[in-house]
Amino acid sequence: MAWHTALGSDLNEVWQKLLKGESGCKPVSSPFPLRNMRAGTIDFFSLDQQHRTRQHDLACTTIERVLEHAQLESESSAIRYILGTSYGSHLDEPVDSLHTWAVEVGESLRTYHKPLSLTTACSSASDSILVGASLIESGESEICVCGGADIVTISKRLAHSALNTMSPTYLRAFDESHDGMLLGEGAGFLVLESQVSAERRNATIYGYLLGAGASNDASGMTSPDPSGESIQLAIKRAFQDSETSIEELAIINAHGSGTPVNDAVEQACFHLLFGEQSELPLVFATKGGFGHSLGATGALEAITVLLALNEKQIPPIFGLENPMHNFTLPLPINKPSSFTGSVGASLTLGFGGFNTCLLFQGKT
């Protein structure tokens, strides 16, 4: 696993910052007025670069680090690359195809296979993991590098400012005073491989992907179906894809974007799913720390689920002081929360109605 986030790039250092409740969102200059000047940018990569170059460098550097972490060579014929992004640099520096950035990453890394790419808005990186699992399960591949990269650009900041999805204050997921999201950027990649491949390589195993499920609201370009039923379907499909019962779920890394609409639809979904259960999973969210990194968010949040499962604690939700009325699942406020159990879910919701749920188990 490897990432670059607004809180840093070392896995453990970033995790410790999340446990302390820190945020990487800070004032970032803009040539235009915005609802909020804060964003979760990465200092490691210069904001003066062309957007296209910045995303390319961010993706390549993170993939190189994940390959080093997994003791793999980029040119190996055994590896397939599945890269996700939302618009990447496209809104500010358009090119012919949203696939171009993935091709260029593959050329720089001299990959044996040309990368696959996908764009399902904020579910892109989660869906790249889902696709990687399908390739491995079908026997098409033994090893997949899955994840996503996305960057903050002025067009995205202007768009979310105009949509009023940008908070004028701070990103406070599931708080009564939540008023929107703040943009972030980042890259996260995980090496997904068959058990046979991992054992043959004597690879260090950080966890297991138990199942994956997806759905689409078909409700609107930017607003989800308020009933929560479509999100519930993605979660149920993930459990159907696994050999795990929903009662075993210990933690959920929710989408937690801090917008009243998205927080409310997740609340509705959780009530539908867990309303009758006596043992309820803990819910946490990390976008207050990272900013909303759009097409990369699913990979960053998958990594945090695995870290949480192995540490047996979840970080507090940044800015959460007064939980939403009738939010029935437990939330970590001001300090980390410990838990028992070994199964966790990562849930992402994307513009266009894309919902993806990934189920993980910690290392055993």
Q: What are the pLDDT digits (tens) for 181-230?
A: 999 999 999 999 999 999 999 999 999 999 999 999 887 777 788 899 99
Residues 173 and 232 in one domain: no
Which of the residues in the chain have pLDDT under 50? Answer: none
Residue 338: Cβ within 10 Å count: 10
Q: Are 177 and 316 in contact (CB under 8 A)?
A: no
CATH number of domain containing 166: 3.40.47.10
DSSP state of 211: E
User: What pLDDT is stored for residue 125 in this prediction?
Assistant: 98
Among residues 177, 201, 225, the one where a domain terminates is: 201
Catalytic residues: 122, 255, 292
Residues 164 and 47 in one domain: yes
Residues 133 and 228 in one domain: no
Residues 229 and 127 in one domain: no
Residue reference for tokens 């909303």: 292
Residues 134 and 224 in one domain: no
Kind and range of the H or E element at 118? strand 116-118
Residue reference for tokens 């919701």: 349
CA distance 190 to 67: 9
| Distance, CA of 261 to chain centre | 19
Residues 218 and 293 in one domain: yes
Domain count, the chain: 2
Among residues 201, 222, 244, the one where a domain terminates is: 201
User: What pLDDT is stored for residue 83 in this prediction?
Assistant: 98
Residues 23 and 63 in one domain: yes
Among residues 180, 201, 222, the one where a domain terminates is: 201
Question: What are the helix (H) ranges across 71-163?
Answer: 100-109, 124-137, 154-163
Residues 7 and 60 in one domain: yes
CA distance 289 to 128: 23
Residues 120 and 220 in one domain: no
What range defines the domain where residue 24 resides? 2-201
Residues 253 and 109 in one domain: no
Half-sphere exposure of 244 (CA within 13 A, CB side): 26
> Which neighbouring-strand residues pair with 347?
357
User: What pLDDT is stored for residue 225 in this prediction?
Assistant: 85
Residue reference for tokens 């910052």: 17
Of 228, 269, 224, 263, which is closest to residue 246 (Cα–Cα)?
269
Residues 229 and 289 in one domain: yes
User: What pLDDT is stored for residue 298 in this prediction?
Assistant: 98
Residues 357 and 217 in one domain: yes
